[in-house]
Protein backbone atom coordinates (compact mmCIF):
# COMPACT_ATOMS: atom_id res chain seq x y z
CA UNK A 1 0.00 0.00 0.00
CA UNK A 2 1.22 3.54 -0.74
CA UNK A 3 1.71 5.97 2.16
CA UNK A 4 -1.52 7.80 1.36
CA UNK A 5 -3.48 4.52 1.03
CA UNK A 6 -2.09 3.47 4.42
CA UNK A 7 -3.12 6.78 6.02
CA UNK A 8 -6.61 6.62 4.50
CA UNK A 9 -6.86 3.05 5.77
CA UNK A 10 -6.04 4.19 9.32
CA UNK A 11 -8.61 7.01 9.02
CA UNK A 12 -11.39 4.49 8.28
CA UNK A 13 -12.02 3.60 11.95
CA UNK A 14 -13.25 7.09 12.91
CA UNK A 15 -14.17 8.32 9.43
CA UNK A 16 -17.57 9.78 10.33
CA UNK A 17 -16.08 11.90 13.15
CA UNK A 18 -13.26 13.41 11.08
CA UNK A 19 -14.67 14.15 7.60
CA UNK A 20 -17.40 16.33 6.08
CA UNK A 21 -20.55 14.32 5.31
CA UNK A 22 -22.47 15.30 2.16
CA UNK A 23 -25.33 12.96 3.09
CA UNK A 24 -26.31 14.59 6.41
CA UNK A 25 -29.92 15.75 6.73
CA UNK A 26 -29.85 19.49 6.09
CA UNK A 27 -27.29 19.19 3.26
CA UNK A 28 -28.68 20.12 -0.19
CA UNK A 29 -26.93 17.59 -2.41
CA UNK A 30 -27.81 17.22 -6.13
CA UNK A 31 -26.21 13.75 -6.37
CA UNK A 32 -29.15 11.50 -5.28
CA UNK A 33 -31.51 13.10 -7.83
CA UNK A 34 -28.90 12.87 -10.62
CA UNK A 35 -28.34 9.17 -9.84
CA UNK A 36 -32.06 8.50 -9.87
CA UNK A 37 -32.28 10.00 -13.37
CA UNK A 38 -29.49 7.69 -14.62
CA UNK A 39 -30.73 4.55 -12.83
CA UNK A 40 -30.80 1.30 -14.84
CA UNK A 41 -31.47 -1.64 -12.49
CA UNK A 42 -31.88 -4.09 -15.40
CA UNK A 43 -28.42 -3.81 -16.99
CA UNK A 44 -26.50 -0.73 -15.82
CA UNK A 45 -23.06 -0.87 -14.21
CA UNK A 46 -22.07 1.83 -11.71
CA UNK A 47 -18.66 2.32 -10.09
CA UNK A 48 -18.23 4.05 -6.71
CA UNK A 49 -14.64 5.28 -7.08
CA UNK A 50 -13.03 5.90 -3.72
CA UNK A 51 -16.08 4.36 -2.03
CA UNK A 52 -14.71 4.83 1.49
CA UNK A 53 -16.82 3.18 4.19
CA UNK A 54 -19.57 2.78 1.58
CA UNK A 55 -22.31 5.33 2.36
CA UNK A 56 -23.42 5.47 -1.29
CA UNK A 57 -23.35 1.73 -2.02
CA UNK A 58 -26.93 0.89 -0.91
CA UNK A 59 -28.30 3.63 -3.21
CA UNK A 60 -26.19 2.44 -6.15
CA UNK A 61 -27.14 -1.20 -5.49
CA UNK A 62 -30.81 -0.22 -5.73
CA UNK A 63 -30.41 1.80 -8.95
CA UNK A 64 -27.97 -0.39 -10.90
CA UNK A 65 -27.62 -4.03 -11.90
CA UNK A 66 -23.91 -4.26 -11.03
CA UNK A 67 -21.93 -2.03 -8.65
CA UNK A 68 -18.14 -1.85 -8.41
CA UNK A 69 -16.89 -0.50 -5.07
CA UNK A 70 -13.32 0.71 -5.65
CA UNK A 71 -10.87 2.07 -3.10
CA UNK A 72 -7.11 1.80 -2.59
CA UNK A 73 -7.41 1.67 1.23
CA UNK A 74 -8.05 -1.79 2.67
CA UNK A 75 -9.42 -0.30 5.94
CA UNK A 76 -12.10 1.56 3.97
CA UNK A 77 -13.06 -1.52 1.93
CA UNK A 78 -13.26 -3.61 5.11
CA UNK A 79 -15.77 -1.19 6.64
CA UNK A 80 -17.69 -0.94 3.34
CA UNK A 81 -17.98 -4.77 3.24
CA UNK A 82 -19.17 -4.85 6.88
CA UNK A 83 -21.72 -2.12 6.11
CA UNK A 84 -22.99 -3.50 2.78
CA UNK A 85 -21.78 -7.12 2.65
CA UNK A 86 -25.29 -8.41 2.20
CA UNK A 87 -25.86 -6.51 -1.06
CA UNK A 88 -25.57 -9.24 -3.73
CA UNK A 89 -24.79 -6.96 -6.69
CA UNK A 90 -21.78 -5.14 -5.15
CA UNK A 91 -18.20 -6.23 -6.00
CA UNK A 92 -15.22 -4.83 -4.06
CA UNK A 93 -11.94 -3.96 -5.71
CA UNK A 94 -8.78 -2.65 -4.06
CA UNK A 95 -7.24 -0.42 -6.73
CA UNK A 96 -5.91 3.07 -7.19
CA UNK A 97 -8.03 5.41 -9.30
CA UNK A 98 -4.92 5.98 -11.40
CA UNK A 99 -5.17 2.42 -12.77
CA UNK A 100 -8.64 1.18 -13.60
CA UNK A 101 -7.46 -0.79 -16.67
CA UNK A 102 -9.50 -3.96 -15.80
CA UNK A 103 -12.68 -1.88 -15.97
CA UNK A 104 -12.07 -0.49 -19.47
CA UNK A 105 -15.38 0.50 -21.14
CA UNK A 106 -17.44 -1.49 -18.57
CA UNK A 107 -18.96 1.36 -16.57
CA UNK A 108 -22.15 3.28 -17.43
CA UNK A 109 -22.07 5.62 -14.44
CA UNK A 110 -18.90 6.44 -12.49
CA UNK A 111 -19.23 8.29 -9.18
CA UNK A 112 -16.43 9.88 -7.15
CA UNK A 113 -17.52 11.55 -3.92
CA UNK A 114 -14.70 13.49 -2.26
CA UNK A 115 -12.16 11.00 -3.61
CA UNK A 116 -10.69 13.11 -6.45
CA UNK A 117 -8.31 14.53 -3.88
CA UNK A 118 -4.99 13.06 -5.08
CA UNK A 119 -2.40 15.63 -3.99
CA UNK A 120 -0.10 15.17 -7.00
CA UNK A 121 -1.66 16.91 -9.98
CA UNK A 122 -0.04 14.45 -12.43
CA UNK A 123 -1.68 11.55 -10.59
CA UNK A 124 -4.96 13.44 -10.37
CA UNK A 125 -4.95 13.82 -14.15
CA UNK A 126 -3.99 10.14 -14.57
CA UNK A 127 -7.00 9.21 -12.39
CA UNK A 128 -9.33 11.34 -14.54
CA UNK A 129 -8.00 9.72 -17.74
CA UNK A 130 -8.39 6.23 -16.29
CA UNK A 131 -11.98 7.01 -15.20
CA UNK A 132 -12.67 8.26 -18.75
CA UNK A 133 -11.33 4.96 -20.16
CA UNK A 134 -13.40 2.90 -17.68
CA UNK A 135 -16.63 4.47 -18.98
CA UNK A 136 -18.54 3.12 -21.95
CA UNK A 137 -19.02 5.63 -24.78
CA UNK A 138 -21.91 7.87 -23.70
CA UNK A 139 -21.25 7.03 -20.04
CA UNK A 140 -21.69 9.54 -17.22
CA UNK A 141 -19.26 10.75 -14.57
CA UNK A 142 -20.69 12.37 -11.41
CA UNK A 143 -19.10 13.41 -8.20
CA UNK A 144 -18.36 15.90 -5.48
CA UNK A 145 -15.05 17.64 -4.89
CA UNK A 146 -14.04 19.66 -1.82
CA UNK A 147 -14.17 23.39 -2.55
CA UNK A 148 -11.22 25.65 -1.69
CA UNK A 149 -13.33 28.71 -2.59
CA UNK A 150 -15.71 27.80 0.25
CA UNK A 151 -12.82 28.15 2.70
CA UNK A 152 -12.27 31.70 1.40
CA UNK A 153 -16.01 32.33 1.90
CA UNK A 154 -15.93 31.11 5.54
CA UNK A 155 -12.83 33.24 6.10
CA UNK A 156 -14.66 36.34 4.85
CA UNK A 157 -17.58 35.70 7.22
CA UNK A 158 -15.23 35.07 10.15
CA UNK A 159 -13.27 38.30 9.52
CA UNK A 160 -16.53 40.24 9.47
CA UNK A 161 -17.70 38.55 12.68
CA UNK A 162 -14.46 39.59 14.39
CA UNK A 163 -14.78 43.17 13.06
CA UNK A 164 -18.31 43.34 14.48
CA UNK A 165 -16.74 42.47 17.85
CA UNK A 166 -14.46 45.51 17.40
CA UNK A 167 -11.28 43.52 16.90
CA UNK A 168 -8.50 45.42 15.11
CA UNK A 169 -7.86 44.07 11.61
CA UNK A 170 -4.73 42.05 12.43
CA UNK A 171 -6.55 40.33 15.32
CA UNK A 172 -9.65 39.80 13.17
CA UNK A 173 -7.52 38.04 10.56
CA UNK A 174 -5.76 35.91 13.16
CA UNK A 175 -9.12 34.96 14.65
CA UNK A 176 -10.52 33.98 11.22
CA UNK A 177 -7.39 32.02 10.34
CA UNK A 178 -7.69 30.09 13.59
CA UNK A 179 -11.38 29.21 13.20
CA UNK A 180 -11.06 28.37 9.49
CA UNK A 181 -7.97 26.24 10.27
CA UNK A 182 -5.72 28.03 7.78
CA UNK A 183 -2.69 26.18 9.16
CA UNK A 184 -3.97 23.04 7.39
CA UNK A 185 -4.11 24.66 3.91
CA UNK A 186 -1.89 25.88 1.13
CA UNK A 187 -4.37 28.19 -0.59
CA UNK A 188 -2.31 28.91 -3.70
CA UNK A 189 -2.13 25.26 -4.70
CA UNK A 190 -5.34 23.98 -3.09
CA UNK A 191 -3.58 21.58 -0.69
CA UNK A 192 -5.16 20.43 2.57
CA UNK A 193 -3.28 18.28 5.09
CA UNK A 194 -5.07 16.56 7.96
CA UNK A 195 -4.20 13.39 9.91
CA UNK A 196 -1.13 13.18 7.66
CA UNK A 197 -3.45 12.75 4.64
CA UNK A 198 -2.84 15.21 1.80
CA UNK A 199 -5.86 16.22 -0.23
CA UNK A 200 -6.42 18.48 -3.20
CA UNK A 201 -9.23 21.03 -2.78
CA UNK A 202 -10.74 22.47 -5.97
CA UNK A 203 -11.68 25.79 -7.51
CA UNK A 204 -14.78 25.49 -9.76
CA UNK A 205 -12.82 26.60 -12.85
CA UNK A 206 -10.35 23.76 -12.24
CA UNK A 207 -13.15 21.16 -12.28
CA UNK A 208 -14.20 22.26 -15.78
CA UNK A 209 -10.61 22.60 -16.98
CA UNK A 210 -9.31 19.21 -15.79
CA UNK A 211 -12.41 17.22 -16.77
CA UNK A 212 -12.26 18.66 -20.29
CA UNK A 213 -8.52 17.92 -20.52
CA UNK A 214 -9.27 14.29 -19.61
CA UNK A 215 -11.76 14.09 -22.52
CA UNK A 216 -15.07 14.69 -20.75
CA UNK A 217 -17.82 16.74 -22.40
CA UNK A 218 -20.87 18.67 -21.12
CA UNK A 219 -19.24 19.44 -17.77
CA UNK A 220 -21.84 20.96 -15.41
CA UNK A 221 -21.36 22.18 -11.84
CA UNK A 222 -23.73 22.79 -8.93
CA UNK A 223 -23.14 23.61 -5.29
CA UNK A 224 -23.62 21.02 -2.56
CA UNK A 225 -24.88 23.28 0.22
CA UNK A 226 -23.32 21.83 3.38
CA UNK A 227 -24.69 22.09 6.91
CA UNK A 228 -23.36 24.70 9.35
CA UNK A 229 -23.59 21.96 12.00
CA UNK A 230 -20.39 20.51 10.49
CA UNK A 231 -18.38 23.70 11.13
CA UNK A 232 -17.55 23.87 14.83
CA UNK A 233 -16.07 27.40 14.95
CA UNK A 234 -19.07 29.10 13.39
CA UNK A 235 -22.28 28.57 15.42
CA UNK A 236 -23.23 32.25 15.06
CA UNK A 237 -22.89 32.39 11.26
CA UNK A 238 -26.05 30.35 10.71
CA UNK A 239 -27.99 33.30 9.24
CA UNK A 240 -25.63 33.30 6.25
CA UNK A 241 -25.77 30.63 3.50
CA UNK A 242 -23.57 27.67 4.50
CA UNK A 243 -20.25 26.71 2.85
CA UNK A 244 -20.35 24.31 -0.09
CA UNK A 245 -18.57 21.61 -2.04
CA UNK A 246 -18.81 21.27 -5.82
CA UNK A 247 -21.05 18.68 -7.47
CA UNK A 248 -20.17 17.93 -11.09
CA UNK A 249 -21.68 15.90 -13.88
CA UNK A 250 -19.96 15.15 -17.19
CA UNK A 251 -20.15 12.73 -20.11
CA UNK A 252 -17.91 10.62 -22.30
CA UNK A 253 -18.66 11.22 -25.97
CA UNK A 254 -21.00 8.50 -27.39
C1 LIG B 1 -12.96 11.60 1.78
S2 LIG B 1 -13.10 9.88 1.48
C3 LIG B 1 -14.68 9.75 0.68
C4 LIG B 1 -15.27 8.38 0.77
C5 LIG B 1 -16.65 8.19 0.19
N6 LIG B 1 -16.66 8.42 -1.23
C7 LIG B 1 -17.66 9.05 0.90
O8 LIG B 1 -18.29 9.89 0.26
O9 LIG B 1 -17.83 8.90 2.13
C10 LIG B 1 -11.94 9.62 0.15
C11 LIG B 1 -11.82 8.16 -0.23
O12 LIG B 1 -11.08 8.08 -1.44
C13 LIG B 1 -10.11 7.07 -1.33
N14 LIG B 1 -9.00 7.43 -2.23
C15 LIG B 1 -8.23 8.54 -2.19
N16 LIG B 1 -7.30 8.52 -3.16
C17 LIG B 1 -7.49 7.35 -3.84
C18 LIG B 1 -6.84 6.73 -4.94
N19 LIG B 1 -5.78 7.30 -5.54
N20 LIG B 1 -7.30 5.54 -5.37
C21 LIG B 1 -8.37 4.93 -4.76
N22 LIG B 1 -9.01 5.46 -3.69
C23 LIG B 1 -8.59 6.66 -3.24
C24 LIG B 1 -9.72 7.05 0.14
O25 LIG B 1 -9.16 5.83 0.54
C26 LIG B 1 -11.07 7.32 0.80
O27 LIG B 1 -11.76 6.14 1.05
Q: What is the pLDDT of residue 1?
A: 59
Closest CA to 73 of 2, 128, 145, 144: 2
Q: How far is the CA of 129 from the centre of ligand 1 (A)?
A: 17
The pLDDT score that the predictor gives to residue 230 is 85
DSSP codes joined into one string, 142-190? EEEE-BHHHHHHHHHHHHHHHHHTT--HHHHHHHHHHHTTGGGEETTTT
Mean pLDDT in consecutive groups of 10 residues from the start of the chain, 254 residues: 89 90 90 97 97 97 98 97 92 97 97 98 98 98 98 96 96 96 97 96 98 98 93 84 97 95
Structure confidence at residue 236 (pLDDT): 87
Which overall architecture, per CATH, does domain 3-147+200-251 show?
A: 3-Layer(aba) Sandwich (3.40)
- Nearest alpha carbon to residue 57 among 27, 91, 30: 91
Measured from the CB, is residue 57 less than 6 Å from ligand 1?
A: no
Counting atoms of ligand 1 from 1, which one is nearest the CA of 52? Answer: 27
Domain ranges of the chain: 3-147+200-251
Helix (H) or strand (E) holding 194: strand 191-194
pLDDT of residue 24: 87
How far is ligand 1, taken at its centre, from the CA of residue 115, in Å?
Answer: 4
pTM of the model: 0.96
Could you tell me if the CB of 51 is within 6 A of ligand 1?
yes
Cβ(29) – ligand 1 distance below 6 Å: no
Amino acid sequence: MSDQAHLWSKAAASYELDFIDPYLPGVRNPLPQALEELADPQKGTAADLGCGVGPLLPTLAKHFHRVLAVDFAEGMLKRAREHCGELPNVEYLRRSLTDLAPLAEQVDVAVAVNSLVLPDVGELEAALRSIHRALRPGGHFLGIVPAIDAVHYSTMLLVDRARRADMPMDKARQNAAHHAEHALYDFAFGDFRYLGIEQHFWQPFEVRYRLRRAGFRRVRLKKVHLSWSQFAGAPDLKDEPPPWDWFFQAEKQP
